[in-house]
Every structure is written in C-alpha cells, then in structure tokens.
Structure 1
Amino acid sequence: MGKIVFFVVLVILASFVWYFVKSKVSNAHRQVRDRAVEGNFGRALTAGPATKHLSMMGRTLTLGADPQRAGELIAHVATSDARVTDVRPEQGALVIQIDGSYPLVRAQLLPDRTVVGVEAMTWEMGFPQGAAVWDRIATAIGQAAAHQGIPVGEGSREFAKAERPAGEQEIWTVRVA
C-alpha cells in the first residue's frame, strides 16, 4: 500500500513540474520568435522556404471529369490522409479541412471540370501552414485521376494577407484579380 501511495504522489509531483517547465519553455520560445520577427532576422531566414511553401499552397488541379466522379475521387483520396479532418459537400463544391481549420481546400464541381485548390490558409512562424500536406494530397489526387484515365491539368493561385483584428491568427486568402 505504501508503494502505491508513493507512486501516486510521485506522478502528481511530476505532473506539476512538467506543467511549469513546459510553460516556461513555451514562453521563452515565443519571446525568441517575436524578437526575431521584429528584427527582420526571422523574415530573412524564412523568406526562401516561405516562398516555396506559398508556391505549394497555390497549386491547383483541374480534373476533366463529371462532377460526381471527380467528387468521389477527391473525397476518397482526401479522407485517406491522416491530417484531413473533414470533407463535406456544399452547393456545387467539396470542402476539405486540414488539421481542423486551415488550410481550407475547395473543389469546385463544375459541369465540365472540377477545380481543386487552397482558398485560405494560416501564416505562422514565417510559413504558410499545411503546405506539405496540401502538396501530398494534390499529388495523390493527380495520380489517382491519371490512373483512372481522367485528364489532369495544373495551375496556380496567388494569395494576399486578409485583414484581421489584433491578436487573431494571420490568414491569407486567394487574391482576387
């Protein structure tokens, strides 16, 4: 009985220590990040990789198939990725959510083609978030479509920073021409 009590007390003490150490590290990390961004040091270091990630986020696919067939293919491929948290139909579209909210991918199901691409994303720590996931999903969609004999075209989109209230996440959306 004494060993069990000792073990429970040890677990409780370890939990308190872990909580305070973790918050201390998180605060220190946030301060270092903020100083780097304020001094433009962080932007200089992330400029090249951020441009590559932004290019990946701008990747679009056009599938030359009827909307039902293209929608089923896209939904099947997207739901097979562990980072996709939701695939839901909307009027004339499929919406794919990665990691719960962003990036937000929309497949416009048109009568003669389907256009799939990122519509909105978050920008954190000097990078657009989810670029590697979207690139992986887009590649899988393109390969699956080609395997089924569906013509696939690639395009690109540009993004612009959306207005946001102070303290909110930085969100980028498709640039409207």
Structure 2
Amino acid sequence: MNKFVKAERQGQSKFFADHEPGFGGFRGSAYRLDPTSFERNLAPSIRNAVPVYFKQKGIQWHTHSNHGLSSQVCCLNFLAPLAQTPEMLARLVQAALGGDEPTMLPVEEGPDGQWFVGFEWIGGDYLNEGGKSGTRSRGANATSADAVLMFERGGKRETLLIEWKYTESYGTPISANGNATRLKR
C-alpha cells in the first residue's frame, strides 16, 4: 500500500470517528461504514438529494459506496453540491480548462429541478454494450463517465466527460487472450 492510500485511510478513519461516531469500523476497518448506513459517506448537503437522484435515474451504487475512499462518493461529494449552481460550476470549468467563462447548460432533471451535472453518464451505446436488448444501466456493467457537464463557450456547445479517481490501482492490462468482448470493444 502506498503512502497516499495509507494517509487517506487514516484521515477518513478520523473523519468518521469525529463526524459519524458509531458508524465506522465495518469489518474492522475504521474507514468503512456499515453498508446500511452508506449515505453517511455523502456530504450532508447532498445526503438527501443524491439517493433520490440515483433512484430516479436507475443508477447503481458502486459496491463499496460505504468505503471512505470510494471514488464514486468522492466525485459526488465534490460535484453534486454544484449541480444546481451553474455560476460556481462555470468558474470551476474555466479554472480547469482556461479560456472564457462558459455558460453552463442543464444536463438533466434532478429530484429538485434542473441539474447541470449528470452522474454515471452512459450517453449513446457506441460500444454496443446493450446487446440485442439495448438495455444498459448507469453505474454498473456499462462504460460510463463518472460525471458529465455541458456548456456553451465561444458560440460552440461542448460536453465535458469527467473520470474520477481517488486511490485506485489496477493490475496488469487485459492480455491478448483476455476477455474477448472487452478486447473487441
């Protein structure tokens, strides 16, 4: 385990002990909450709206949404508070991309009005993941962007796909003899 992961586990353990006492410690890990209390991993300002949004959109929670180092939850905690504040979101996009400040466009309807950020975005089925039935689900078993933003700038409409990582590490790449479906796509 690298130093960053170790430090983040310690930090999240302390955070849960200080702010969510009695809920941390699932399976002996202080940085994990009981899965039935996973929503306590969400920032208080989004704790009610995001689960409703996920249910409305049929988005699946990642298996470890109760984990203090969940990338899905980290992305939500950072971007969901901005979902209905297009002015703040525009300043963030401008700081990240440079250039003129964009005019943010709504992505989709949220539980409480227009949202300017979409989560677990799957867009069109460009990789034929829906197969014959054409069905895919947001958040699992389909290629998705962790978040999507849309905006206009300089007379052009742009879409920004966001991939969010926190502490993940991956094994060896799929070999030439690996998963045939993934290799084809």
Where on the TM-score scale, by shorter chain, does this alignment land: which range? under 0.3
Bigger fraction of residues in strand = 1
Name the TM-score, length of structure 2 as normaliser.
0.24
Give the number of the structure with larger relative contact order, counting CA–CA contacts within 8 Å between residues 6 or more apart. Answer: 1
Which structure's CA Rg is the greater one?
Answer: 1
Name the TM-score, length of structure 1 as normaliser.
0.25
Bigger fraction of residues in helix = 1
